[in-house]
Amino acid sequence: MLTLAVFLCAAEPVPSAKLAIEPASEDTPAALKKVPVYPKTVAVLKDVAYLGGTRKEKADIYSPLDHDKAKPLPGIIVIHGGGFNDGDKARNRELNISENLTLQGYVCMSINYKLRRTQGQVTWPQSVHDAKAAVRYLRKEAANLGVDPEKIGVIGCSAGCNLSMMLATTGPVDGFDAVKGEPYQDVSARVTCAVGFYGAVDLMNYHDMKMFAKTREEAPELYKMGSPITYLDAKDPPMLLVHGTADVTVPLSQSETYLKIAKEKGAPCVLEVIPDAPHTFDLQPKQRDLRPLVTAFFDQHLKGK
């Protein structure tokens, strides 16, 4: 059982970023998308081509305003949700998470990754490759960004949770590393710890996924391969799951089953259940301020506090 350190936030509360409110559905209509308003409390390097110049998916890198790059900070990859069909690195939820964690002494890299845009388009496992490329990029550019390459965590919501747990549970033997054509293949994609909010982590017991362009009945092997629960073992890094009891998009049972299997396999995992919380929320839902919980987890495993 992991013991979370007590965290007292000395800074003033950070309000949720002011963008269009995301509906409960994971598919956000294009008409509701707004130009992001980036926070001024931290430095933001926007639209970094972390996948190479030919890819349209970019990343935003957040650093504390007073960051001395000669004194490296732990890094955190932030992965957005959207059902693998939608979402963006700079929506309100991801802005809130990135700003809050950066203010607590982290360098955050919020990423876009391959999404399904047309009917029949197959985007998995490219999304997994992209998430691993983000870790590799942050590690490769650690000296330039002032990041400790040995202390990189990840946090993701919904679909981003699935990808965060894939980063935590899979390694070279699982076939997602050493992929021809993917960038930075000589750099490790290992993460030190992972946080996942309300994600589908057991696709064998979830609905059909458009990213496969096949139903679970047609291709059960894909759904098993796309489920982080498949890869759990005692060698995994510490993981924290957060899930609301009022979630009607991804049932709480997804996280509960993941926790059960993690315990059986000896994988270090804890689950924080948020009463009455729906599917989509950031670090500051009305039910409870989650900044102390999440920051304490990262502080424990990335800063040794």
| Short-list 83, 37, 45, CA closest to 64 | 45
Q: At what angle do helices 126-140 and 159-169 cross, to 10 degrees?
A: 60
30-202+229-303 homologous superfamily = Alpha/Beta hydrolase fold, catalytic domain (3.40.50.1820)
Pick from 120, 155, 149, 125: nearest CA to 137: 149
pLDDT at position 171: 96
Confidence of residue 24 (pLDDT cuts 50, 70, 90): very low
| Residue boundaries of the structural domains of the chain | 30-202+229-303
**Whether residue 289 has pLDDT greater than 70:** yes
Give one DSSP letter per residue of 259-279, joined into a string: HHHHHHHT--EEEEEETT--S
Give the model's pLDDT for residue 199. 98
Q: Tens digits of per-residue pLDDT, 52-81?
A: 988 999 999 999 999 999 999 999 999 999
Band (4; pLDDT cuts 50, 70, 90): very low
Q: What percent of the chain has pLDDT over 90?
A: 84
Q: What is the pLDDT of residue 181?
A: 86
CB 89 within 8 A of CB 140: no
Q: What is the mean pLDDT of the chain?
A: 90
Q: How confident is the model at residue 33 (pLDDT cuts 50, 70, 90)?
A: low
Q: What is the mean pLDDT of residues 147-167?
A: 98
What pLDDT sits at residue 286? 97
Ranges 11-20, 139-148, 155-164: which has the least confidence = 11-20
- Cα–Cα distance measured from residue 179 to residue 156, given in angstroms and rounded to the nearest whole number: 23
Q: Is residue 298's pLDDT more than 50?
A: yes
Q: What is the per-residue pLDDT for 179?
A: 87
Beta-sheet strand order (sheet of 193-197): 42-48, 59-64, 107-111, 73-79, 147-157, 193-197, 239-244, 269-274
* 44 strand-pairing partners: 62
Taking only the tens place, the pLDDT of each residue in 86-117 is 999 999 999 999 999 999 999 999 999 999 98
Backbone CA torsion sign across 273, 270, 81, 283: positive
Q: pLDDT tens for residues 231-242?
A: 999 999 999 999
DSSP string, 241-263: EEEETT-SSS-THHHHHHHHHHH
